[in-house]
Amino acid sequence: MPTGLDNGIAVPHGRTDGVNQITGVLALVDNSENENGIIPDYETIDHSKIQVLCLTLIPDSISTPYFQLIAAFIRILQDAENLDQLLDCKTSSEMTRFICSVA
């Protein structure tokens, strides 16, 4: 099932035995080389170019709901000002400071 939202945000998530705790990656995406700016499997609802990819993995052995974590990222990123601030980040340290400031 596609996990693209709107405003260029995709939140793929899943369960795997490849991790032993909830693991996530937040990435800013330059997909300007892709046709129409669309990354296959991550098309957004509004057909905007993917700019932010928030991947979350949870171990198969843990029954803890992780949709709360995904929902928190979505709430943060669907605010236009927050999204602009994130997209202005140039380093992972800047991204970390941003997330800590809004979390």
Task: Look up the CATH number of domain 9-102.
Answer: 3.40.930.10
Mean pLDDT of 43-72: 82
- Please choose, from the candidates 2, 3, 4, the residue with its C-alpha nearest in 3D space to the C-alpha of residue 44: 4
Cα–Cα distance for residue pair 62/15, rounded to 1 Å:
9
Report the predicted TM-score, pTM, of the whole model to 2 decimal places.
Answer: 0.76
Average pLDDT over residues 26-50: 74
Q: What is the mean pLDDT of the segment spanning 34-61?
A: 77
- pLDDT tens across 59-86, in order? 988 877 777 878 888 888 889 999 999 9
What residue ranges do the domains of the chain occupy?
Answer: 9-102
**Average of pLDDT values for 17-44?**
78
pLDDT at 11 over 90: no
What is the chain's Cα-based Rg? 14
| pLDDT above 90: percentage of residues in the chain | 25
